[in-house]
Structure 1
Amino acid sequence: MKKQTIFTPLKQRSFRTLFSAQVFSDTGNWFDIIALNLLVAYHWKMDIIANAAIDLAVAVPWVFLGPLLGVWADRLPRKPVMLICTLLRIAVVIGFIFAPNLPVLLALVFAKTVFSVLFDPARQGLFRQVVPEAELAEATALSQMCSNATKILGPTIGGLLMAVASPTYVFVTEAILYGIALIFLLRLPNVKLATVEGKQEEKNFWRELKEGIQHVRKKRIMMVAITLAALNLFFVFLYDAFFAPLTLALQLGQVGYGLIVSSFGIGAVAGALLSGQWTWWKRNPLHMMCFALLFGGSMVVVIGLGGMGIINGSIAFWCVVCLLVGALGAGNAVPFGYILQSETPPELMGRVFSVSNAMQGVMLLSAPMLGVALGRWLGIGAVFAFSGVMLVLTAIAFLIYMKKRDVRPTQPAPVEGIS
């Protein structure tokens, strides 16, 4: 029997089409992040409050509307939901071109995010249906690799285009990306959920929402994984906005800042690639999450000590450290995605994914404010060091808890040989 690699799922036509749509859709999602902030700061000459308002318009729908829209993502046929959401995002992005002021722009950003909040759980549910169980880990890693890559390439290309052209070109390009995603979505098969047919009349909206929440609460491995992922995100976002001042503290300059950020991104892509190539962690993905957190947190402590002037290193040294942090971050994210997919029946996937995103969104909203307060009080390096220590302690605490409670996957996956 031929051994599987991270690219094995692409042999499945349905997954290959869905993955292609994800590449262009995810790139579109991130394409305007820098452009929108540059628009309000440089073109409209507004202060930092406008930039914070844009971030808020992006974050709020994930937290407060995600679980509600997750119900509709499970209720409605997934392919039409994805098609309609993509069409509406194209319309919103074109609307960016004609936005006359900040309130209108914020309303459009909010609307675009709402459509993404509905699109993503529908995509995750369809992902669960078209990927064979034996290839779930590889497909999850490939999807995560795409997500990591587009988070880097999307804003970078959008920002560069913004620097040499007007905002109109950025938004037109983004609309084209969504248009290409739409073409791939049209080629997807119409996959029905036979398990929920005939039951819709017996349910109501709030009962269906409760089903998704209860699935997370009743499955200990799900609750542990989502809590671990949320805490990881919280401690990461304590320092995530401080890389520019960190490079000043490390005396690396503007070129160093670019290299540091690129190292994180390259590490994240490489980590997802390796996690999908060697899937021995499938027997207990929670252990992989914890150990990635443990070693990743240790590297963040090293970065913090550098920012405090305790450790000195060349730019090559800091790039290697950041590369490892990025790779270990993917080593946490891929097993988490695998747990969500493997421990959730397809008919609940939208709701469970949305509940998970909402829990992580709360962390995303609260952590930066605390990070700013800690940074002003203790200094930038201390924020990194504190975050790293907390990541390490979180990993150790969860490893102890899992051993005591014997938290394991419902059905441990067979492990293929190393390819």
Structure 2
Amino acid sequence: MTQAKAEGYRSLLALPAPRRLALACVPADFADWLDYAAIVALLVYGWGQGPVTLALFALALSLPYVIIGPLLAVLVDRAPLRGVLFATNLGRALVTLAFAFSGDAGVLLGLVFLRGCIDSAFTPARQAAIQATTPVSLLGHAQGLHQAINQTSKIAGPAIGGALLAFWPAQSVFLFNGALSLLAAAIILGVAVPERATDAEGMEPFATRLLAGLAEFRRSRRLLIALIFSASAYFSFFLYDALIALLAEGLGFDATAFGLSISASGLGGLLGALLAGRIAASHPMRSMALAATVSGLVTSTIALIAMLGFAVQLPAFLLVLGFIGGATAFMLVPYRTIVQAEAPADRIARVFASGEAVIVTAMLSAPLIGSAIASRWGTPAAFLTGGVLLILLGGATLASTRRP
């Protein structure tokens, strides 16, 4: 613990392989989000599509991690990691370039799904590469750094993409974004990833190797608790995440204030990721549980204030959103640190992909339930429900970690 805190991010970036891997992930993560605004603009303003198409777009982004990622992770665990990282970035580049030549919504959504399938292999391969190139004492810092890069791309990527649309057509944004993935692939070639020991599963049926990732959650109680916690936390968050605009409107804020709230949430997530990286390796489960409890209290408080009709000043609202964003990162970084510590090197991609599939499945059901709660009892009720669930989750997790 003391050594990890003393070394910190500076020592992590002093190591050639982790530094170059992080550098490659900057354009790779931005490539995930830069064309988000361009796709939405093309669907809505270019082709006149409505809410059904946008819902299908959301599914095309999410479903690959549920149905394709665990399958590809079996191959990732047996392939040279640098080759996988290069091939996935090259594949994402080619598919993104194809966006520019799609002629209708169906083709574009199909390409979005295909890129998501490729990305569902890149993500576990990156986690395996982090484990292979990073000293154990710095794994928490590595997770914090990569989450910070990802969070920054979520904040700046759509904003930059939207700004580019003022000067370029959507097709040009796609071409530029494809070039970013090519840049990431080129940087990956310079990352020295140690070869992993070959597992003994090569002759076993594919289904057995596929389920080996889930089997690790049965083997490790700590890993299982972390997964249940993360899936439950994300379910609680997404009960109200899509309703932030309605809550802001109900509190009397305009569209500009809503935009600022999204930025505040993103900035909180960035700072939370960097802070969590410093302490994730010491007490990860306790950190996650306390973050859930405090985040639940804050969310429940703002919901009750809205229900009772009290006035909320914009700075206070932005502070709350920033805190919620930071708490989200404070739960994700320790979870991934636990996966790094508990999963064997020859199956970490499958463990990570299986966990992602469970978490994303939980997330997909939450917005519909949150919308139903908001429609029946009002928008603040969805925030209150999510906040109370987080409080209960944090308390239950703290209790479970104290058992022998």
Q: Give the TM-score, by structure 2 length.
A: 0.95
Contact 1:304/1:384 (<8 A) preserved: yes
Which amino acid is the alignment partner of residue 51 of structure 2?
Answer: I
Q: Which residue among 18, 27, 31 is the counterpart of 1:28?
A: 31
Query: Which residue does the alignment assign to 1:231?
Result: 232
Decide whether aligned partners of structure 1 residues 308 and 194 sit closer, same or farther in structure 2, where only a CA change above 3 A counts.
Answer: same
Query: Which residue does the alignment assign to 2:65?
Result: 62
Decide whether aligned partners of structure 1 residues 43 and 307 sit closer, same or farther in structure 2, where only a CA change above 3 A counts.
Answer: farther
CA distance in 2, matches of 1:113, 1:267: 26
Query: Which residue does the alignment assign to 1:4?
Result: 7
Query: Which residue does the alignment assign to 2:18?
Result: 15
3-state SS of paired residue (1:173):
helix
Query: Which residue does the alignment assign to 2:141?
Result: 138
Note if 1:194 corresponds to 2:197: yes
Q: Deviation at 1:204?
A: 3.2
Query: Which residue does the alignment assign to 1:409?
Result: none
CA distance in 2, matches of 1:200, 1:211: 9
Identify unmatched segments of 5+ residues in structure 1.
Answer: 407-419
CA distance in 2, matches of 1:78, 1:324: 36
Contact 1:193/1:347 (<8 A) preserved: yes
Query: Which residue does the alignment assign to 1:161?
Result: 164
Contact 1:307/1:380 (<8 A) preserved: no
For 1:109-188, what aligned pairs fall within 5 Å after superposition?
Answer: 109-188=112-191
3-state SS of paired residue (1:373):
helix
Query: Which residue does the alignment assign to 1:412?
Result: none
Note if 1:250 corresponds to 2:254: no
Decide whether aligned partners of structure 1 residues 327 and 205 sit closer, same or farther in structure 2, where only a CA change above 3 A counts.
Answer: same
Contact 1:294/1:391 (<8 A) preserved: yes
3-state SS of paired residue (1:39):
helix
Contact 1:121/1:354 (<8 A) preserved: yes
3-state SS of paired residue (1:6):
helix
CA distance in 1, matches of 2:9, 2:310: 37
Which amino acid is the alignment partner of residue 287 of structure 1?
Answer: R
3-state SS of paired residue (2:311):
coil
3-state SS of paired residue (2:6):
coil
Q: Deviation at 1:201?
A: 4.0
Contact 1:7/1:142 (<8 A) preserved: no
3-state SS of paired residue (2:68):
helix
3-state SS of paired residue (1:152):
helix
For 1:256-405, what aligned pairs fall within 5 Å after superposition?
Answer: 256-277=257-278, 279=279, 281-403=280-402, 405=403
Contact 1:6/1:141 (<8 A) preserved: no
C-alpha RMSD over aligned residues:
1.6
Which amino acid is the alignment partner of residue 289 of structure 2?
Answer: C
Q: Deviation at 1:151?
A: 1.3
Larger deviation, residues 288-297 vs 210-219 = 210-219
CA distance in 1, matches of 2:237, 2:164: 29
CA distance in 1, matches of 2:117, 2:74: 14
Contact 2:17/2:133 (<8 A) preserved: yes
Which amino acid is the alignment partner of residue 381 of structure 1?
Answer: P
Contact 2:17/2:193 (<8 A) preserved: no
Query: Which residue does the alignment assign to 1:413?
Result: none
CA distance in 2, matches of 1:246, 1:164: 33
Contact 2:201/2:209 (<8 A) preserved: no
3-state SS of paired residue (1:7):
helix
Q: Deviation at 1:302?
A: 2.2
Q: Which residue among 46, 49, 61 is the counterpart of 2:49?
A: 46
Larger deviation, residues 287-296 vs 4-13 = 4-13
Q: Deviation at 1:190?
A: 4.6
Decide whether aligned partners of structure 1 residues 53 and 325 sit closer, same or farther in structure 2, where only a CA change above 3 A counts.
Answer: same
CA distance in 1, matches of 2:385, 2:193: 49
Q: Deviation at 1:69?
A: 1.2
Superimposed CA distance per residue, residues 203-252 of structure 1 (whole angstroms, 9 cap, x where no aligned partner):
33222122211111110000000110011111111111112212111111
Which amino acid is the alignment partner of residue 334 of structure 2?
Answer: P
CA distance in 1, matches of 2:6, 2:398: 31
CA distance in 2, matches of 1:7, 1:371: 42
CA distance in 1, matches of 2:13, 2:310: 44
Identity of aligned residues (%): 31
Identify unmatched segments of 5+ residues in structure 2.
Answer: none
Q: Deviation at 1:268?
A: 0.8
Q: Deviation at 1:276?
A: 2.6
Contact 1:35/1:170 (<8 A) preserved: yes
Q: Deviation at 1:309?
A: 4.2
Q: Deviation at 1:391?
A: 0.8
CA distance in 2, matches of 1:305, 1:378: 13
Larger deviation, residues 303-312 vs 91-100 = 303-312
Query: Which residue does the alignment assign to 2:223?
Result: 222
3-state SS of paired residue (2:240):
helix
Decide whether aligned partners of structure 1 residues 305 and 192 sit closer, same or farther in structure 2, where only a CA change above 3 A counts.
Answer: same
